[in-house]
Chain A
Amino acid sequence: MGNLYYNKTAQWIAYAAFFAALAIVPMAIDDDFLLNQLATYGVYGMLALSISLCWGFGGILNLGQGIAFGLGAYGMAMTMQMQTQTESNPIPPIMLNNGLDYLPFLWWPFQNTAVGLIFAVAVPTLFCAVFGGIMFRARVSGPFFAIMTLAMLSAFYTIILDQQAYTGGVNGITPPAPFQFAGIEIEPYSPLAYWTVFFALLTATVIAKLITQSSFGLVTQAIRDDAERVRFLGYGVAGYETMIYTISGLIAAVAGCLWVMLVQYVSPAQLDVGFSISMVIWAAIGGRMSLIGSIIGAFVIQGAQSYLGDAFLSTWLLILGGFFIIIVRFLPNGLASLLEAALGLLATKKKTTTKTPRESNCAEPVPAE
Chain B
Amino acid sequence: MTGLLEIHHLCKSFDTVKVIDDFSLEVVEGTLCCLVGPNGAGKTTTMDLITGRIKPTSGKIVFASDDITGQSEHEIARAGIGRKFQVPAVLRDLTVRQNLAVAYSRQTNPFWNLLRFRVPGLAQKLDEIATLAGLTHRLNERAGILSHGETQWLEIGMVLMQEPRLMLMDEPIAGMTESEIEKTARIFKELRKSTTLIVVEHDMGFVREIADVVTVMHMGSLLAQGTIREIEADPRVRAVYLGEQEAA
* Residues of chain A whose beta carbon lies under 8 Å from any beta carbon of chain B: 1, 210-211, 213-216, 218-219, 221-222, 224-226, 228-237, 239-240, 243, 359, 363-367
Among A234, A239, A243, max chain B CB count under 10 A is at A234
Residues of chain B whose beta carbon lies under 8 Å from any beta carbon of chain A:
51, 53, 72-74, 77-78, 82-83, 85, 89-95, 97-99, 101-103, 105, 107-108, 110-111, 113-117, 119, 137, 140, 142, 158, 162
Q: Pick the most buried of A229, A232, A235: most chain B CB atoms within 10 A of its CB.
A: A232
Query: Does A232 contact B116, Cβ atoms closer than 8 Å?
Result: no
In the complex, are the beta carbons of B114 and A211 less than 8 A apart?
A: yes
Which chain A positions have C-beta within 8 A of B114? 211, 214-216, 243
Interface residue SS majority, chain A: helix
Known: A230-B102, A231-B74, A234-B105. A214 touches B116 (CB 8 A): yes
9 shortest A-B CB distances, which residue pairs? Answer: A234-B77, A231-B73, A216-B113, A215-B113, A225-B91, A215-B116, A216-B114, A234-B78, A234-B105
CB distance from A257 to the nearest CB of B (A): 23
Asked whether B93 lies within 8 Å of A235 as measured between CB atoms, the reply is no
Complex Cα distance, B115 from A216, in Å, reads 8
* Contact (Cβ within 8 A) B89 A234: no
Contact of A224 among B82, B93, B105 (CB under 8 A): B93
Chain B residues within 8 Å of A364, by CB: 97, 140
Residue pairs across A and B with Cβ atoms less than 8 A apart, 10 shown, are A215-B114, A215-B116, A216-B110, A218-B98, A218-B101, A224-B93, A225-B94, A232-B77, A234-B105, A234-B108
List 9 additional A-B contacts (Cβ < 8 Å) besides A225-B92, A234-B105. Answer: A213-B117, A214-B115, A215-B114, A230-B91, A231-B74, A232-B51, A232-B82, A236-B74, A243-B114
| Residue pair A235, B91 in contact (C-beta under 8 Å) | no
Contacts of B73 in A (CB 8 A): 231-232
- In the complex, what distance in Å separates the CA atom of A359 from the CA atom of B141? 12
Instruction: Establish whether residues A365 and B140, one from each chain, have CB atoms under 8 Å apart when the complex forms.
Output: yes
Given A231-B73, A243-B110, A366-B98: A215 in contact with B89 (beta carbons within 8 A): no
Q: Are A219 and B74 in contact (CB under 8 A)?
A: no
Residue in chain B with minimal CB distance to A233:
B105
Nearest chain B residue, comparing its CB with the CB of A221: B94
* Beta-carbon nearest neighbor of A289 in chain B: B93
Q: Do the beta carbons of A215 and B117 come within 8 Å of each other?
A: yes
With A229-B91, A234-B162 as known contacts, state yes or no: A239 contacts B110, CB within 8 Å.
Answer: yes
For A222, give the chain B residue with the smallest CB separation: B102
Q: A233-B158, A234-B78, A235-B74 are in contact. Are A215 and B98 (CB under 8 A)?
A: no
Smallest CB separation, B13 vs chain A (Å):
22
Q: How far is the CB of A235 from chain B (nearest CB, A)?
A: 5
CB of A252, distance to nearest CB on chain B (Å)? 19
- Which residues of chain B are near A215, meaning CB under 8 Å? 107, 113-114, 116-117, 119
Specify the chain B residue showing the minimal Cβ separation from A207. Answer: B114
Q: Which residue of B lies closest to A228 (CB)?
A: B89
Provide the residues of chain A in CB contact with B78, threshold 8 Å. 234
A1 cross-chain contacts in B, Cβ below 8 A:
140
- A357 CA / B110 CA spacing, docked (Å): 39
Residue of B82, B90, B98, B162 near A221 (CB, 8 A) is B98
Chain A residues within an 8 Å CB radius of B95: 365-367
Q: Report A222 CB to chain B, min CB distance, Å.
A: 5
Which B residues touch A231, using CB under 8 A? 72-74, 77
**Nearest B residue to A367 by beta-carbon distance?**
B93
Q: Tell me which residues across on chain A come within 8 A of B72, comparing CB atoms.
A: 231
The answer on a CB contact under 8 Å between A214 and B113 is yes
Question: Is B94's CB under 8 angstroms from A367's CB?
Answer: yes
Please, which residues of chain A bring their CB within 8 A of the CB of B51?
Answer: 232
- Which A residues lie within 8 Å of B116 (CB)? 214-216
Judging by beta carbons under 8 Å apart, are A240 and B103 in contact? no
Instruction: Take A214-B113, A233-B103 as given contacts and tell me if A222 and B91 are in contact as well, using a CB distance cutoff of 8 Å.
Output: yes
Residues of B close to A243: CB separation below 8 A: 110-111, 114
A152 to B58, CA, bound (A): 39
Q: Which residues of A contact B101 (CB under 8 A)?
A: 218
What residues of chain A lie closer than 8 Å to B93, measured between beta carbons? 221, 224-225, 367
Q: Which residues of B contact A233 (CB under 8 A)?
A: 74, 77, 102-103, 105, 158, 162
